[in-house]
Structure 1
């Protein structure tokens, strides 16, 4: 598979399990606590304190009820984590999957992906304009781009297509477009 494929998973239940070596002998748990206290990791000290609390109290851990349900404190922490993940998705990942368009410099009536930038290729034939697309278009985005060209009023001349070279017409104008997922080459042509 050459394309990134998105999918959704609906979470219907979360079950928490509080495991701090409570099933091991007390001597072993104390050695683990001492080892955690010597570590430099940011959460080692917190885990050691939780294990000490669990040893010192005859009650199960206070963060969870005896039925294994998540306490209100943990529900709020999960809610904050979920909001952070959603914000991360919309701010950083979603733009990769979304696709918007802007007018090309060749012809303002011909769309190009908004995330494309014009590049100079001095060795190329005269008249061609080149755009690089970063990140590259996926298969579905590429299909959507072809549909967007048609939405802007351009009709593809499928009988003239040769591989990635497409020919589009609109209001007496012709546009030759060589389309790759990571670059577009455009050449306005006369009929």
Structure 2
């Protein structure tokens, strides 16, 4: 019985390393760690965020395969989900793959890159 335990553990370890966090709309969304009212894909893996600056009050960085293409274009259904949570995109403020959203005077920034995205809660005194 013991001789079977080692191969089973090795097999389990190989299977677990093959798991990939990948974007799918069906997996749903959860609250961002920096703002309970801002959605992030449920299966996004949190990384060490960038340091905050005078313009950024809080930041979070996530890794998720398929979240953005080479140009940093986010999935349309993710943008729709953000709007369903009550955030309005400030489309006139968008710069490349940097999106800004506003809700009740709070401004969030979403930066999408290929397989990685950042969420920033902007400082209250920031002028866009």
**Structure 1: 5+ residue stretches without partners:** 1-94
Larger Rg: 1
Contact 1:142 1:181 in 2 (8 A): no
1:161 aligns with 2:94: yes
1:22-61 correspondence runs (5 A): none
Superposition RMSD in Å: 2.4
Q: TM-score, normalised by structure 2?
A: 0.64
Candidates 49, 59, 72, aligned match of 1:128: 59
Q: Which has the higher strand share?
A: 2
Q: TM-score, normalised by structure 1?
A: 0.44
Task: Give the distance between the partners of 1:171 and 1:161, measured in 2 at CA.
Answer: 19
Identify if the C-alpha distance between structure 1 residues 154 and 120 changes in structure 2 by more than 3 Å, giving closer, same or farther: same
| Structure of higher RCO (CA pairs closer than 8 Å, 6+ residues apart) | 2
1:148 aligns with 2:81: yes
Task: Give the distance between the partners of 2:119 and 2:82, measured in 1 at CA.
Answer: 13
| Residue in 2 that maps onto 1:46 | none
Deviation at 1:98, TM superposition (A): 2.7
May I ask how many residue pairs the two structures share in their alignment?
Answer: 94
Deviation at 1:138, TM superposition (A): 6.9
